[in-house]
Amino acid sequence: MARVVIALLVALLAAALHAPVSAQSTPCAPTAPDMLGPFYKPDAPERSVTGHGLVVRGTVRSAKGCTPLPGARLEWWSADTRGEYQDELRATQRTGTDGAFTYETVAPGRYPGRPPHVHVKISAPGHRTLVTQLYPRDGQRAIATDFVLLSE
């Protein structure tokens, strides 16, 4: 019995030692850029909801110190469930004072040659503009992700 307890304690200690340290104490890895693609249009209407089926939540951060970026601008565009781009699925939004955002849209459909994806372009003063894409899995209804921008 004592051996079992000791083995359990050793396992717990090993788990604790390997637990990830908090995000604040590690540098934020910059988010990998991805293709802009041919369907971007500037000046999409300001809104945080363009449909239902997929919610993206997170915080825009600076790679420098991992600090949240209030007032960062996110521009979203994606295809409808049939894989066709629609102006109704374009949006511009800004992060709040805590750098957080929530965007809700339809689950993107597949179009020839590409897995389903959502495009986003993120800009913030003093930072390099980031263009990237998210790839929701089949049936995935929520994505939690931070976007980390390189400082200039």
**Residues in contact with Fe ion by the rule CB under 5 A:** 37
Q: At 82, which amino acid appears?
A: R
Are 80 and 53 a contacting pair, CB within 8 Å?
Answer: no
Question: Based on CB atoms, which residue is closest to Fe ion, 99 or 136?
Answer: 136
Report how far residue 132's alpha carbon sits from residue 117's, in angstroms, rounded to the nearest whole number. 10
The residue whose Cβ lies closest to Fe ion is: 37
Question: Based on CB atoms, which residue is closest to Fe ion, 28 or 91?
Answer: 91
User: Least distance to Fe ion from the beta carbon of 37, Å?
Assistant: 4
User: Least distance to Fe ion from the beta carbon of 85, Å?
Assistant: 7
Are 91 and 45 a contacting pair, CB within 8 Å?
Answer: yes
User: Least distance to Fe ion from the beta carbon of 69, Å?
Assistant: 25
Minimal CA–CA distance to 27: which of 60, 57, 59, 67?
67
C-alpha dihedral over 36, 86, 72, 149, to 10 degrees?
-20
**What are the structure tokens assigned to 148, written together?**
């980390």
Report how far residue 111's alpha carbon sits from residue 131's, in angstroms, rounded to the nearest whole number. 20
Question: Based on CB atoms, which residue is closest to Fe ion, 51 or 70?
Answer: 51
User: Least distance to Fe ion from the beta carbon of 106, Å?
Assistant: 14
